[in-house]
A and B are shown apart, each in its own frame.
Chain A
């Protein structure tokens, strides 16, 4: 990857994201929209394409899709319509999908995302409502179809070909997932397929305006895999173009559908596109146009919750978090909400963020658990940080307390500290003063440095005292006494 002539080649990436909406019922039927049940229990006569069954549009799905459009400041069509998209496959109960081809609900809009500390704006082409297919399950001697997912509401979000490296694609996709979570329109669960990504990718000599043939990588089901797949595909395309500089691009990269093979760490061709698929789109005669009045749109827009990008700006501007830390928080809504809750009990956002995103998450990394489900109330983390900030405990003790909080989720850090004599800060002057004297005596140069205005020298002296008290001396007492003695 690194040895590729990136300065000479520019990747162009466009993403199609299928986002499953978390409505109670399906897009066109009253059957439950629920994942993980026994096959073919969440179905109705519509989901199995029975003759005589008719689709009836779920208003909740229209609202949730529209909220997405409003959140990305897109143009919401006052009148949008559905079309039939014909293709035969056993997971498609009517052998046509009901989608919005001609008049999508959402046009345009932008996604703003932090890419390595830089805010970038990615334009959207469109987003539209459509129903999901069922799932084929293969057994040793036969295949079965599970229609539980058939008819689940999706929005397909199509970006412009506007991303130029895998990091941008990941940031864009994570931003969309975050928006979905903040709006509560999807659970965004990639493992369960609630968020599925198809990537279109081509590369071209830097400066070229024309796009070269693109590969379509289907069903990227984690951000990590997407990044790897894109990197691998970019590398494959650049290598082909540089090794065969005189062959026409269309011969080197024949358009086709690929999948990411995690085993071989390669993109694998699934199907070459001989000619454009003919889906024979035409207006769905069983449905009437979706009409949204300006009043409805205004009311929904006014009621939008705080969105991830707004939260990001608040974290950076008002709370002084770094863009990296702010991104880490906002991309996981649960975590960000946890932080918000803790913030109510603790007026120190930066250390609080650090303890949440570094200390606790670091401790949990191996366990597979997350801070939001491990049972530690946000107020406890807030208390811990407050204890540190008020110099009631030292950093070293705080880390030990954090370990105990994880072992006994629900234990109040104040109680942990109170119960364990080892965690009591030593504030007895009779113990601390001789140690301070000793440190001062051993480090005359530091005293001189401090007096010359070097603050770090002071911190060094505090550190020495802490070392000798094995981190237990009350930082407040040490600070005060040191200052007094150096004078």
Chain B
């Protein structure tokens, strides 16, 4: 048998179910890897060793007694630290929630545990998921396992780094503007943002409620699909969660009769290297029998402006609850109510979070709301219409995930320049569409690149089927050099 961390999650699950490997052995192996590589990668904010071992022992007993095992039996999973595990810390990589113990389980986490996944720990992120490099963590940044000087992408940077370096085989992420897909692309793994409402947000600390979606990061499309089978379920505790039966993700690698739309005009300014990689991917799709047509998604050029108005508006109210009254950090210097609010938030939040709260408060203010928030809502509707129009002509849209490979930490001093990195991913959030990032090769520095496939709403299964077909035809995914051993 190959080393455990060279197996896919599905392969490892099968090996465990067949009795080829004990769950305790799996946990020990991955805890050891976390121990060895976790620090240099900054991937984990907390490691839940004893909890994982308890679960593993229980699974081994279960298997010994021939009791039925769950769909994710024995699979090590890492949880982005903005999702609740009852009784464990949820820090959101913020000083404000340094000692906050989650009072309940996030639905997605509970579902995975019920299917016998083993939770290893909580992964690093940009504070409150605000960022695309993971540099905004209040504790320490996460690094890219392909080059430790480079960012892993964000905001689910810890999750992406952990899976890429095989410190875990599956990790959860949350994607508000690309926070699953961008780090997946930067780290050379698969990242999937489901249709808005497919996965319950109950227990996910909200950033932009109308955009947030939980999804998996994994080494293969099949592994991501397995996670989706488990977490893509209705939830009575989330009013926006779709009341649809869970889907079966059968991955048929056949693209005949499939039509992909590409917004060629929108891609005109793409860097040559990224363009070449994208063109290659399009050629692969054609070689698999798919047709490729031109679609008009020019409106996406407004998506960043729209996003940074709507997401920050929602965030400014979502984060209003962090006031130092009921939980979280209360400033020791506060002498009255006003100061509890002001100082607790001043001391508890990092600069990017403050920037976004101020921006969101501003765009909702009387006198500015029409010019900003309401106008952005209108443009959001137009972007939704543009996608609908595109889908009347094609089955899915192909785009790069990012305009570059991972870059060196600290490269962007100007937040606006950094915000522009999300240009290709935000559209799917604004329109609530399912979108996957799948490895599409490497740049001249050997850093991974990603292809994005965006489907119509509810087409979660087809999107992963297309991604699977592409993945099987290309097999770009590799374990980064320093982490194969």
Within 8 A of A (CB), among B259-301: none
Pick from B209, B327, B365, B373: contact of A50, CB below 8 A.
Answer: B327
Q: Whole-angstrom distance from the CB of B312 to the nearest CB of chain A?
A: 12
* Distance in angstroms between the alpha carbons of A282 and B377 in the assembled complex: 11
Residue of B nearest to A56 (CB): B239
A57/B364 contact (C-beta < 8 A), A52-B204, A86-B317 known: no
B320 at the interface (CB under 8 A from A): yes
Is B236 within 8 A of A95, CB to CB?
Answer: no
Interface centre among A52, A55, A95 (most CB of B within 10 A): A52
What's the least CB distance linking A62 to chain B, in Å?
13
Across the interface, which residues of B come within 8 angstroms of A288, CB to CB? 239-240
**The residue from B103, B313, B317, B325 contacting A45, defined by CB atoms under 8 A apart:** B103
Answer whether A282 and B237 are a contact pair too, CB < 8 Å, given A88-B320, A93-B326.
no
A54 CA to B100 CA, complexed, in Å: 18
Whether A51 touches B97, Cβ cut-off 8 Å, given contacts A56-B237, A288-B239, is yes
Q: Which of B100, B206, B361 has the most CB of A within 10 A?
A: B206
Tell whether, in the assembled complex, residue A52 and residue B84 are in contact, meaning their CB atoms are under 8 Å apart: yes
Is B239 a contact partner of A57 (Cβ separation < 8 A)?
Answer: yes
Known: A50-B327, A145-B325. A285 touches B239 (CB 8 A): no
Chain B positions within 8 Å of A95 at CB level: 317, 320-321, 323
Whether A463 sits at the interface, judged by CB under 8 Å, is no
- B366–A51 touching, CB < 8 Å: no
A271 to chain B, nearest CB (A): 16
CB contacts (< 8 Å) of B106 on chain A: these are 52
- B84 — which chain A residues lie within 8 A by C-beta? 52
- The reply to whether the CB of A287 lies closer than 8 angstroms to some CB of chain B is yes
On whether the beta carbons of B210 and A285 are closer than 8 Å, the reply is yes
**Nearest chain B CB to A487's CB is how many angstroms away?**
85
Question: Is there a chain A Cβ closer than 8 Å to B102's Cβ?
Answer: yes
Beta-carbon contact of A94 and B205 below 8 Å: no
**Complex alpha-carbon distance, A276 and B365, angstroms:** 12
* B104 close to chain A: CB less than 8 A: yes
Instruction: Report if A483 contacts B (CB, 8 A).
Output: no
A395 interface residue per 8 A CB criterion: no
| Residues in A38-95 with C-beta less than 8 Å from chain B | 45, 48-57, 84, 86, 88, 90, 93-95
B320 touches A96 (CB 8 A): yes
By secondary structure, the B interface counts as loop
Q: Is the CB of A285 within 8 A of B320?
A: no
Distance between A50 CB and nearest chain B CB, rounded to angstroms:
6
- Check A280 for interface membership: any CB of B closer than 8 A: yes
A224 CB to nearest B CB, Å: 34
Rounded to whole Å, the gap between the CB of B62 and the closest CB of chain A is 29
Q: Which residues of chain A come closer than 8 Å to B206, judged between CB atoms?
A: 51-52, 286
B347 → chain A closest CB, angstroms: 17
For residue A278, CB closer than 8 A to chain B, the reply is: yes
Given contacts A52-B83, A94-B321, contact A280 B365 (CB under 8 A): yes
Shortest distance in angstroms between A398's beta carbon and chain B's nearest beta carbon?
60
**Structural contact, A282 and B209, CB atoms closer than 8 A:** no
* Closest-CB distance, B92 to chain A (whole angstroms): 7
Q: Which residues of the other chain, B, contact A96 by a CB distance below 8 angstroms? A: 317, 320
Within 8 A of B (CB), among A255-292: 276, 278, 280-282, 285-288
B321 touches A93 (CB 8 A): yes
- CB neighbours of B210 from chain A (8 A): 285
Task: Tell me if B201 counts as interface (CB < 8 A to partner A).
Answer: yes
Q: Cα distance A288–B238 when bound, in Å?
A: 10
B269 to chain A, nearest CB (A): 32
The chain A residue sitting closest to B209, CB to CB, is A285
Interface centre among B90, B100, B103, B321 (most CB of A within 10 A): B321
A278: which B residues are within 8 A, CB to CB? 365-366
- What mask results when residues 184 to 223 of chain B are scored 1 for a CB within 8 Å of chain A, else 0? 0000000000000000011111101110000000000000
State whether B100 touches A282 (Cβ < 8 A). no
Residue of B nearest to A284 (CB): B209
| C-alpha spacing A93/B326, complex, angstroms | 8
List residues of chain B with CB within 8 A of the CB of A50. 103-104, 327
Nearest-neighbor residue (CB-CB) of B373 within chain A: A282
Name B's A-contacting residues (CB within 8 A): 83-84, 90, 92, 97, 100, 102-104, 106, 201-206, 208-210, 236-240, 313-314, 316-317, 320-323, 325-327, 337, 341, 361, 364-366, 369, 373
Q: A residues near B, CB below 8 A?
A: 45, 48-57, 84, 86, 88, 90, 93-96, 145, 276, 278, 280-282, 285-288
Can you spell out 23 A-B residue pairs with CB atoms less than 8 angstroms apart? A45-B103, A48-B326, A48-B327, A51-B97, A51-B206, A52-B84, A52-B102, A52-B104, A52-B203, A54-B237, A56-B238, A86-B316, A90-B323, A90-B325, A93-B321, A95-B317, A95-B320, A96-B317, A96-B320, A145-B325, A280-B317, A285-B240, A287-B239
7 closest A-B pairs (Cβ-Cβ)?
A95-B320, A285-B210, A280-B364, A285-B209, A51-B205, A49-B321, A278-B366
